[in-house]
Amino acid sequence: MSSPALHRILELHRLLREHAHRYYVLDDPTIADGEYDRLFAELLDLEARHPEYIRPDSPSQRVGAPPLEKFAQVDHRIPMLSLENGFSAEDLLAFEERLARFLNRTTPVSYVTEPKLDGLAVEILYKDGLMIQASTRGDGITGEEISAQIRTIQAIPLRLRKAVEGILEVRGEVFMDGEGFLRLNEEQTRAGRPPFANPRNAAAGSLRQLDPAITASRPLKFYTYGVSDPAATGCATQFELLGHLRELGLPVNDLVRRCANIQEVLTSFSDLQAQRLSLGYEIDGMVVKVDAFDLQDRLGAKARAPRWALAWKFPATQATTKLLDVEFQVGRTGAITPVAILSPVSVGGVIVSRATLHNQDEFRRKGLRLGDTVLVQRAGDVIPEVVKPITEARNGRETPIVMPERCPVCAHPLDRPDGEAVTRCFNPLCQAQRTRALAHFTSKAGLDIEGLGKKFMEQLFDLGIIKDLVDIFALDREKLARLEGWGEKSAANVLAAVEAKKHPALGRFLAALGIRFVGEVTASLLEDHFGTLARIVSATREELLEVDGIGEQAAASIVEYFSDPATLDMLARLQRLGVEPAAKGSPAKDLPLFGLTFLFTGTLKTLSRDEAKMLVKGHGGQIAQTVSSKLTHLVAGEKAGSKLKKAAELGKTIISEETFLRMLHP
């Protein structure tokens, strides 16, 4: 038999959830703030007297967690991918052309457009309607657990308004509006703390507070934009899904629009741009998504972004300032990058004092001089760049920018290879290159080893403790603990983080090595195709070119890198220390195309070439670029050319598109 106290506590839960939803989500409160505070105080009093009745979804638990020592890592069940960017109507039309080509479709595609919030992407897990975990996007594969921090955001329900069985992984954006940002910075100034540069930094900094009580004091807001697995919701379209999420009590942006065709998307962008400054919160563009989930499934994703979505950025915000100087930085591949040192100026609410000039051709083409008044913009509202000099403002005291002839760090002569726009330092012992390569290896773009950021890697390199990648996995705990700014706990944490990265995913390991022309996307392609590091090390140029997406430059660079005795020695020493990248799991042998290699030629009737390739890979097969000994099946469409003749001469199996489709479902 339930007690009167429990009955009243549950009733207060219901009342406070309802009023919080109306206030924070619907912006339509039905009681005064004082009445809400009275109900909340009553709940706190009852729970203090009956702690056995405190539940995890109680409104009182939004600030109930003790401070954390550090953030735990969370693996996303389904990766949180980035979005491809577009900057013009031409980019949008090219996006639709790619969709039509991939889908082999001539009828219009319907879209959903959503404001692109300038905040922090998060994932929130609900089990049977109860919030159980929240995490940041991180690198898309792994994020940081911020469950206690997310609980403090009033707009996010701790329990969904409708029962949902099983797991629902909600994704959305945490942000701070303009009014809240100004109020927070006033508080920062009064407390003698530095103000935040912009609302996005303020939101990100607030979520990354180890003490949830600090997060609770920050004016954070939230909008959901989807879930990890739409099929699990029973919704057929993105627009239907957003309505479903709204019914569950999750806040959905009111400016979401469904567009029947690409012309309506263009109109939606113009309307959103006109409203931008009156919204009260920052957006930096509009996200365009294919509405139908069945089409999204057909389109699939590339290594880092879905094919069915585009982030169309607003035109860059601009300002004028003085070009005071130019610094020449040395990158991890020896590339010399000129960086403009500017008189600090606010560009779209962000203070800009440095901007890349890319290379010497760039600053010469623009005719820049030291002392110039220049036009600066944040390209895509993110990256600062110098657009042009204001020549009318010159007074005759401006001087040319001179490209150095020697490396600014090691004084080695610089060289600009034929056909390249970048001048490089080719000294393999250049300290700048070595430190940046090491910092890249441990950074989020590399193995993401916590505690070994750029600053600490430079410190350990300068002290001679880390001279190459192998030394990272042979660090001495006692030696680290004695260093300035470290201590026993920091040393132990770093060694534990290093140990945890001894078996990284193969693609991540390749990207961390910093091979020229091998970024995350190329590394992922190599992982998918070859599966093991040993096969990549021994791959020939011809075998690398067989990989869809690997070009001449990347193939030559990979062969050169793994032909170097120093590289092979480094890999052998890493292996002796127990560092072995995890091999890519082989396709299941029961998949219908396992062990088969396909090549498509001619025009297909129902599939685009890209969609056909995706079907092969999704059913366990491999794709060939040319007719070779590895090829098992040639799929011949209309007007098949020389590949058909060559395949016939080599005795390869030649099939039609219809036969290929039947092979997928034997």
Q: What's the residue count for the chain?
A: 666
**CB neighbourhood size of 527 (10 A):** 24
For 72-126, the pLDDT digits (tens) are 889 899 999 989 989 899 999 999 999 999 998 889 999 999 999 989 999 999 9
Return the pLDDT at 146: 95
Position 605 scores a pLDDT of 87
- Low-confidence stretches of the chain (pLDDT beneath 70): 1-2, 24-25, 27, 63-65, 303, 349, 379-383, 586-588
Instruction: Identify the pLDDT of residue 1.
Output: 38
Q: Which amino acid is at 282?
A: E
Count Cα atoms within 13 angstroms, Cβ side, for 636.
15
**Confidence at residue 43, expressed as pLDDT on a 0 to 100 scale:** 84
pLDDT at residue 428, as a whole number? 86
In what helix (H) or strand (E) does residue 129 lie, and over which residues does it extend?
Answer: none
Q: What is the pLDDT of residue 382?
A: 59
Residue type, 241: L
Instruction: For residue 560, give every residue at least 6 positions away whose Cβ sits within 8 Å of its Cβ, in sequence order, or none.
Output: none
Report the distance separating Cα 249 and Cα 234, nearest Å: 17
Instruction: Report which DSSP code applies to 341.
Output: E
Q: 89-97: which pairs have CB atoms within 8 A and are 24 or more residues apart?
A: 89/266, 91/310, 91/312, 92/262, 92/265, 92/266, 92/269, 92/288, 92/310, 92/312, 93/262, 95/288, 95/310, 96/262
The continuous run of DSSP H or E covering 339 comes out as strand 336-347
Sign of the C-alpha dihedral computed for residues 403, 407, 408 and 411 taken in this order: negative
- DSSP classification of residue 276: G
Q: What's the pLDDT score for residue 29? A: 76
Residues 571 and 509: their CA atoms lie apart, in Å, by: 11
Q: Concatenated DSSP letters for 8-33?
A: HHHHHHHHHHHHHIIIIISS---S-H
Contact (Cβ atoms closer than 8 angstroms) between residue 176 and residue 223: no
Q: According to the model, what pLDDT value does residue 586 have?
A: 62
**What is the set of domains in the chain, with CATH numbers?**
4-54 (1.10.287.610), 84-313 (3.30.470.30), 317-415 (2.40.50.140), 431-500 (1.10.150.20), 506-576 (1.10.150.20), 597-663 (3.40.50.10190)
Which residues participate in catalysis according to the annotation? 116
Rounded Cα–Cα distance for residues 651 and 636 (Å): 14
CB atoms inside a 10 Å sphere around CB 406: 11
CB neighbours of 475 closer than 8 A, spacing ≥ 6?
465, 466, 494, 495, 498
> Tokens 């470290």 label which residue?
486
Angle between helices 520-530 and 506-513 in degrees, nearest 10: 140
